[in-house]
């Protein structure tokens, strides 16, 4: 497994729409494993394939340590409520903003074995699901920010 380079804001790949994964191959599995290593090294909550230079609909999330969620071809199928919370991004270091996101989200995706599943998330998990699926559509968190925070507010 390897630590991948995280693409930074300004790289055009972050603004491109990702292609669905047609077949889960050994390369797909290696990407998932490498993304997990990269996420842990960066101490982040989520990581999407375009953030490591791959234009495929793959994302991982780890809100609770040791509980890695792998999403292949994720589609948000239901949202409820609203939350306005502070959000940041591994591809946009040093910048934070308050985003308007659903309080509860249901996502449908494939796991690494090609099995379809649905996952419901609230709070931080709901935000992370939205944040990572936005990456797959070429959107960054500050596109949805209600307001960006100043350096004084970040601390």
Catalytic residue of the set 12, 122, 132, 153: 132
Eight-state DSSP code of residue 10: T
For residue 141, give both structure tokens. 């968190």
In contact, 139 and 99? CB cutoff 8 Å = no
Establish whether 70 is a catalytic residue.
no
**Distant-in-sequence, close-in-space partners of 79: CB < 8 Å, separation ≥ 6:** 102, 104, 105, 106
Three-state DSSP at 120 gives strand
**Of 60, 69, 66, 57, whose CA–CA distance to 4 is shortest?**
60
Residues annotated as catalytic are 132
């Amino acid at each position: 497994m390897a630590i991948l380079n995280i693409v930074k804001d300004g790289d055009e790949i972050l603004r491109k729409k990702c292609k669905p994964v047609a077949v889960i191959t050994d390369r797909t599995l290696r990407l998932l494993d490498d993304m997990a290593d990269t996420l842990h090294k960066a101490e982040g909550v989520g990581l999407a394939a375009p953030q490591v230079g791959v234009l495929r609909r793959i994302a991982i999330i780890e809100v609770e340590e040791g509980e890695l969620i792998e999403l292949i071809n994720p589609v948000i199928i239901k949202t409820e409520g609203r939350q306005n919370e502070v959000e940041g991004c591994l591809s946009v270091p040093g910048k934070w903003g308050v985003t308007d996101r659903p309080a509860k989200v249901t996502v449908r995706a494939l796991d690494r074995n090609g099995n379809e599943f649905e996952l419901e998330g609230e709070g931080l998990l709901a935000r992370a699901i939205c944040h990572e699926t936005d990456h797959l559509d070429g959107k960054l968190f500050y596109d949805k920010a209600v307001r960006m925070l100043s350096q004084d507010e970040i601390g």
